[in-house]
Amino acid sequence: MKLDTPIYNLKRKAKHLARATNIPFHKALDNIAVERGFKSWSHLSSIEQQERAAISLMKNLNAGDFLLLGARPQQGKTMLALHVLVRAVKSGMNGFFFSLEYTSGEVWKRLAGFGMERSFDGGELVVDTYDSICAEYICKRLKDCSGPTLVVIDYLQLLDQRREHDELQTQVGQLSRVAKELGVIIIALSQIDRSFDPTTQSVPSAENIRLPNPVDLGLFSKACFVHDGRTLVVTNP
């Protein structure tokens, strides 16, 4: 689902509609949103917010970057990552979405919300939900990749959930190296610990990343933290 009209123009139309039909402004906003295929004005606003966040994040990404994207549950980190992935693929890049959290059908349903179908013009998009995804597996998949590529891993803390996999520190090192060697962009989603207190800080920081096993965060070239519609990108987290 794509917002193709500036938000201020839609608000102007809602004002005219409210006056012409003598309905409350908030009802007019909802009507305008529904006409464009959204559930409500708040749904439309959230998509518009994600669009702006995705554009901003993409401007901060360069070939070889290994970015950690962290947020508490229900703060939109997966949707933001998918939005960035869709924009990258539609621009001609290859895209991979590796998930240990969702089924392939669930991922494609979310992608369809951004207007991304299984057949499209642009780069190649692969959704991989293999049960034993780990850094070694991801690196093997990327070895055959040619051209600009963006990878999303959902999510960091699940990579070493199987005993046969290397510890998380080793896997993060592998991913950091392959990003540099192949010039691909890798985004790893990350959980944020419950110790994060939004009353004392507007967005999480590196100190709030949930790490059941130690990881050198210096292996990430950048980090992006999200909370309550706000995003913060930092280098060398």
159 with 124: CB under 8 angstroms? no
Q: How confident is the model at residue 202 (pLDDT cuts 50, 70, 90)?
A: very high
Q: What is the pLDDT of residue 122?
A: 54
The predicted pLDDT at position 5 comes to 72
The reply to whether 160 falls in a domain is yes
> What's the average model confidence in pLDDT over 175-180?
96
SS3 (DSSP) at 229 = coil
183 shares a domain with 74: yes
Residue 142 sits at φ, ψ, to 5 deg, of -80, -20
Report yes or no on 48 lying in a domain: no
In a shared domain, residues 125 and 169? yes
Element counts in the chain: helices (H) and strands (E):
7, 7
The dihedrals phi and psi of 227, each to the nearest 5 degrees, come to -165, 130
Indicate whether 167 and 137 sit together in one domain.
Answer: yes
Compute the distance between CA of residue 131 and CA of residue 104 in angstroms, rounded to an integer: 12
Q: What is the mean pLDDT of the chain?
A: 88
pLDDT digits (tens, 9 = 90+) for 125-134: 999 999 999 9
- Percent of the chain whose predicted confidence (pLDDT) is above 70: 94
Range of the domain at 227: 58-235
Residue 25 and residue 64 in one domain = no
pTM over 0.85: no
**65 and 162 together in one domain:** yes
The verdict on residue 209 lying in a domain is yes
Q: What is the pLDDT of residue 103?
A: 93
Claim to verify: residue 67 and residue 180 sit in the same structural domain: yes
Residue 50 within a domain: no
- Please check the confidence at residue 97 and state whether its pLDDT lies above 60: yes
Residue 228 is part of a domain; what is its CATH number? 3.40.50.300
Task: From 36, 220, 188, select the one nearest 101 (Cα to Cα).
Answer: 188
pLDDT of residue 95: 94
Count up the domains in the chain and report the number. 2
Are residues 179 and 213 both part of a single domain? Answer: yes
- Candidates 226, 234, 236; CA nearest to 83 is 226
Report the percentage of the chain scoring pLDDT > 90.
56
Q: Which of 62, 51, 222 is nearest to 150 (CA)?
A: 62
Please report the DSSP string for 2-55 in residue order: ---S-HHHHHHHHHHHHHHHT--HHHHHHHHHHHTT-SSHHHHHHHHHHHHHHH
Which tokens in the block code for residue 134? 């780990």
Nearest in space to 190 (alpha carbons), one of 170, 171, 209: 209
Residues 106 and 12 in one domain: no
